[in-house]
Structure formats: C-alpha cells, structure tokens
C-alpha cells in the first residue's frame, strides 16, 4: 500500500515548496547498527527524509576497486532508500589533509608523501587523485553524493568545532598539538569494545610520553618548528593543520546537523576513526551525532591475502577497462556477497562473473519493452533490500525471474529494469560488451610471439587473418587491444 504524503513549508517571499513522497509505510526497514551490534528497525529522524554521511577517500593515490567497495556499498544504500520513497541527502568528505601514515597520529602526512613521490605540490596530488576517484565512480555507476567536501575547504569549521570541544573541557595542549582527552568521555571504549587497559602507544617517542592516555588523539597538529609545510593554517593555538578525525565531525554536522540518520564507512574505521568521531560529538554536543553506524566489510585477495598494487592482485577500474573487462562486472560481483562480509577478489573470478553479467544484460536486451512490473516479484525485492540490503538474495531473485515461464518476457524486462534503479547494472542499456572469441585471442597472442622473434611477415599474416575474422588488432606499449570491425 502506498501512502502519498504532502508537506508544505513557507520560504521567504511567500512561495510554497511542496514535497511529495510515495513512502511505503508498511515496509519495515532494518539495518545492522554497529553501535548496538544488532539489526535494528530504521526510522529516520525527520519523516520521509534521510541524512547520510559517508567517510570518503584520502586523495593521495589511485583508488583501486578494493577501495571502491565502500562507495559501491553507500551507492546501493542511497539508491535503496530512494527506491523505498525517501528523500536522501548524502554527504561525503575527501581527505586532502591531516591523515598520517599511522592511525596513532604519528608518521608522515599521506598527502605530503604523495607530493614527494611524484615531485608535484600537495594541491596537485589532491586534484590528480580526486579526478581518478570520480572517474572510477563513473565507471562503476556510483552516483556522486549530494555534497562532496574536501577537508581543506572546511578548516574554519574544524577550528570552531575544536574550540567548542575545548570550551567543554575535553582538550589539553602538548608540544605537538591540541589533543582530545579520551578519559573525559566515559563511553570511549564502548563503540569498538576496546580494552583500554591493554592499549599502549606503539611509538615510544616524546609525544606519547606527553599524552595523558594512549587513546588520546590529536585535534590540531602544530607545524614542525623548523619546517614549512605546504598545507598549514593559522589557528588560535598556532600554525598547523587539523587532525584526521575532526574533519568528518565538522563537515557532517555542517551539512546534516548535529543529529543525523546514518554514518557509513569501512569496518577498519570502527576502532580508531569512528570511535574518535563519536568522542568528538560527545565533547562538542554531549551526544552521538549519528543514529546508525553502518560498516562495510573489506576486499581481500585469494585466501584472505592483502590487496596491493605491488603484489599485482588488485586493479583500478581504469585498468579493468584496459583489460577489456566491463567495470560493471565488478559491481555485479559486489552484489553477489553481503556488504558486511566483504569480498575475496581474484581476476579469474571477475572474468568468470563478467560472463554471467554479460549474459544477464544480453537476455534483458533481447526481451521486448512495454511490459508491466510484476507485483509479486517487486514485493519480494522490497522485502530483501529492506532487510539490511540482502543483495545476494536479490541476485538469486533476478535469475529466478529470468527463468520463470509463468511471467511474460516483456513483464520480466519491466520488473528487472525497475530493480536496476537500485542495482545500477545498466540493464536498460542496449549495447552489450562483446566477448572476444578465444580463437581470435590465440591468433593475437601468436602475433605477439612472432613480433618478439622479429618475424614481421608472420605478424602481418596473423593481423590479416584476425581482420578476415572481423577483428582489428591495435598495438599498445606492452599490450594489444582487439576491436570488432563494425
């Protein structure tokens, strides 16, 4: 049953804005809330409207598809809430200052590290990797959040928030900065079930001796005395830069208020970053800023191996394109496991799953349009997405519908395209990525060998043979591309 609700609000000048929701009141929505360690019914603070804050990337290096997992999750979360009739405002930060190589406020600034590595300014590093991040989002059909806020554009808000926390008596100053005194927040350990008595500072340097508690964290770090940083600002406490955690509290509160619905991030954020965000909220406002804390699992390699570019077991979305793999196959792969479980990623698996995904797209493309949505399947779909985003079940439901002979093909198409508002798999698009036949790939590989042996006659002959079979081979630096001749 759909209920149509209308609210009116007066704005200056006497105009009226009318919002319409088709908010399905009967559908109970549950999410797993890390704050309570259980699935809880989700009800927004303001009826019909949801505010979401998502921890975004640190723009100091390429984001690979493992990093992009968190943003696929938030994209599906936002799409789900919109599908269920909510008006959603999503805010995401870009960390372009303040994150050090160690979570314990020590080590090098990641942005400065990127600048040294590439011989360009930190500002250019930020620009370069912001671009790479947004291109990856586009390739993976991730909608851009309503507000994207780089930390460097909110230094004033961060300073004001630290002043508020200071006024409430939660801070102290030592030689390298102003710190949050975690012992002043009685529930500091609760969110992550930390065992504070076992916590020790890993770095036995002067700073850790000055800190009152090992779990205290920096709010504003002073610039080193004899060194000019590329990124530094004046503050009431001295020249320096904000700590990593303060940006998320400052920017979420700025755009969503000091009490909003959902905060997202990867599970790695639970013990430090989000624990500290909660402490900052308590220090500034006396309460938690977010009602729901929802965390996604991690992407790992084969048998749980760490993913890294140097190990060669992970790729950027752009690299998938170079390998002729549709990046949306990775999006499909994401949908096949639950977001809290994370994913074991191998290129071999992705190639296999890309064939399943291509088959689904081809099947839907071949059906005629003009059908209507099947109510029974749509109800099931709503139930599944409302149950903590049970996406693997949704994928099973999609294939069940594909094979269901009691439903007309055009109705199947209408139903699956409706689901795709959440899934984002471009199932309404006609063109299906052509799979290159193995025999063509074999000829192209033979041609690489012939070229290596400087057997140009054979290489040309193979190029001709490939052409006769309808494909064109284009040479890259260390690779080749095959294209179907139109």
Question: Which 8-state DSSP code applies to residue 109?
Answer: B
Helix-helix angle 155-167:275-285, to 10 degrees: 60
Q: In the complex with Zn ion, which residue's Cβ is closer, 55 or 104?
A: 55
List alpha helices for 257-371, DSSP H: 275-285, 317-322, 327-335, 347-366
Residue 262, interface with Zn ion (CB under 5 A)? no
Q: In the complex with Zn ion, which residue's Cβ is closer, 245 or 463?
A: 245
Q: Which stretch binds Zn ion (CB under 5 A): 48-56, 340-348, 426-434, 472-480?
A: 48-56
To Zn ion, the closest distance from the beta carbon of 93 in angstroms equals: 6
Q: In the complex with Zn ion, which residue's Cβ is closer, 72 or 248?
A: 248
The neighbouring-strand residues paired with 95 are 58
CB 296, CB 75: distance < 8 Å? no
Number of chain positions touching Zn ion (CB under 5 A): 2
Residue 55, interface with Zn ion (CB under 5 A)? yes
Residues 314 to 353 in contact with Zn ion, rule: CB under 5 A: none
To Zn ion, the closest distance from the beta carbon of 274 in angstroms equals: 7
To Zn ion, the closest distance from the beta carbon of 146 in angstroms equals: 17
To Zn ion, the closest distance from the beta carbon of 249 in angstroms equals: 8
Residue 97, interface with Zn ion (CB under 5 A)? no
CB 35, CB 100: distance < 8 Å? no
DSSP 3-state assignment of 257?
A: coil
Residue 178, interface with Zn ion (CB under 5 A)? no
Question: Which 8-state DSSP code applies to residue 95?
Answer: B
Q: In the complex with Zn ion, which residue's Cβ is closer, 122 or 248?
A: 248
Q: In the complex with Zn ion, which residue's Cβ is closer, 115 or 248?
A: 248
**Closest by Cα among 469, 409, 410 to 443:** 469
Residues 209 to 248 in contact with Zn ion, rule: CB under 5 A: 248
For residue 465, what are the contacts with CB-CB under 8 A and spacing of at least 6? Answer: 443
Q: In the complex with Zn ion, which residue's Cβ is closer, 298 or 367?
A: 298
To Zn ion, the closest distance from the beta carbon of 55 in angstroms equals: 3
How far apart are alpha carbons 228 and 453 in whole angstroms?
Answer: 55
Q: Which stretch binds Zn ion (CB under 5 A): 50-58, 158-166, 230-238, 305-313?
A: 50-58
To Zn ion, the closest distance from the beta carbon of 251 in angstroms equals: 9
- ∠280-281-284 over CA atoms, to 5°? 80
Number of C-beta neighbours around residue 70 at 10 A: 26
Question: Which 8-state DSSP code applies to residue 197?
Answer: G
To Zn ion, the closest distance from the beta carbon of 226 in angstroms equals: 31
State the binding string over 241-260 for Zn ion (x if CB under 5 A, else -).
Answer: -------x------------
Greatest Cα pair distance in the chain: 80
Q: In the complex with Zn ion, which residue's Cβ is closer, 46 or 144?
A: 144
CB 294, CB 264: distance < 8 Å? yes
Q: Which stretch binds Zn ion (CB under 5 A): 52-60, 283-291, 314-322, 398-406?
A: 52-60
Q: In the complex with Zn ion, which residue's Cβ is closer, 162 or 384?
A: 162
Q: In the complex with Zn ion, which residue's Cβ is closer, 55 or 391?
A: 55
CB 289, CB 258: distance < 8 Å? yes
- ∠84-17-289 over CA atoms, to 5°? 55
Q: Tokens 């689904």 map to which residue?
A: 360
Interface ranges with Zn ion (CB under 5 A)? 55, 248
């Amino acid at each position: 049953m759909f209920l149509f609700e209308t609210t009116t609000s007066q704005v200056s000048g006497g105009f009226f804005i009318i919002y319409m929701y088709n908010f399905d009141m009967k559908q109970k929505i549950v999410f797993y809330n890390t704050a309570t360690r259980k699935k809880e019914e989700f009800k927004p603070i303001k009826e019909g409207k949801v505010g979401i804050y998502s921890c975004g990337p640190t723009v100091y290096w390429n984001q690979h598809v493992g990093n992009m997992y968190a943003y696929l999750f938030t994209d599906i979360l936002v799409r789900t809430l919109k599908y269920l009739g909510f008006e959603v405002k999503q805010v995401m930060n870009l960390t372009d200052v303040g994150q050090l190589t160690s979570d314990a406020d020590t080590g090098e600034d990641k942005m400065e590290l990127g600048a040294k590595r590439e011989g360009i300014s930190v500002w250019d590093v930020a620009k370069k990797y912001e671009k790479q991040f947004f291109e990856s989002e586009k390739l993976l059909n991730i909608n851009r959040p309503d507000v994207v806020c780089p930390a460097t554009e909110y230094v004033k808000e961060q300073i004001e928030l630290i002043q508020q926390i200071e006024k409430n008596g939660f801070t102290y100053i030592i030689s390298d900065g102003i710190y949050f005194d975690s012992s002043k927040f009685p529930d500091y350990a609760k969110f992550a079930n930390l065992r504070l008595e076992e916590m020790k500072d890993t770095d036995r340097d002067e700073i850790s001796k000055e800190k009152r508690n090992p779990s205290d964290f920096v709010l504003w770090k002073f610039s080193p005395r004899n060194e000019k940083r590329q990124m530094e600002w004046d503050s009431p406490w001295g020249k320096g830069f904000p700590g990593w955690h303060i940006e998320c509290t400052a920017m979420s509160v700025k755009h969503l208020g000091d009490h909003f619905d959902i905060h997202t991030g990867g599970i790695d954020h639970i013990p430090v970053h989000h624990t500290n965000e909660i402490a900052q909220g308590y220090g500034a406002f006396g309460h938690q800023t977010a009602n729901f804390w929802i965390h996604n699992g991690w992407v790992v390699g084969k048998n749980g191996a760490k993913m890294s570019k140097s190990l060669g077991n992970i790729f950027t979305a752009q690299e998938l394109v170079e390998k002729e793999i549709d990046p949306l196959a990775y999006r499909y792969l994401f949908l096949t496991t639950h977001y809290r479980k994370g994913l074991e990623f191998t290129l071999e698996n992705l190639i296999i799953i890309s064939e399943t995904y291509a088959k689904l797209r081809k099947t839907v493309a071949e059906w005629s349009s003009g059908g209507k949505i099947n109510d029974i399947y749509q109800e099931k779909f709503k139930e599944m997405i409302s149950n903590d985003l049970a996406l693997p079940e949704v994928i099973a439901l999609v294939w069940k519908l594909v094979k269901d002979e009691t439903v007309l093909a055009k109705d199947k198409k209408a139903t699956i395209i409706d689901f795709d508002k959440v899934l984002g798999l471009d199932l309404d698009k006609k063109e299906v990525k052509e799979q290159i036949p193995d025999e063509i790939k074999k000829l192209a590989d033979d041609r690489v060998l012939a070229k290596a042996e400087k057997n140009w006659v054979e290489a040309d002959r193979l190029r001709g043979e490939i052409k006769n079979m309808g494909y064109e081979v284009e040479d890259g630096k260390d690779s080749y591309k095959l294209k179907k001749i139109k």
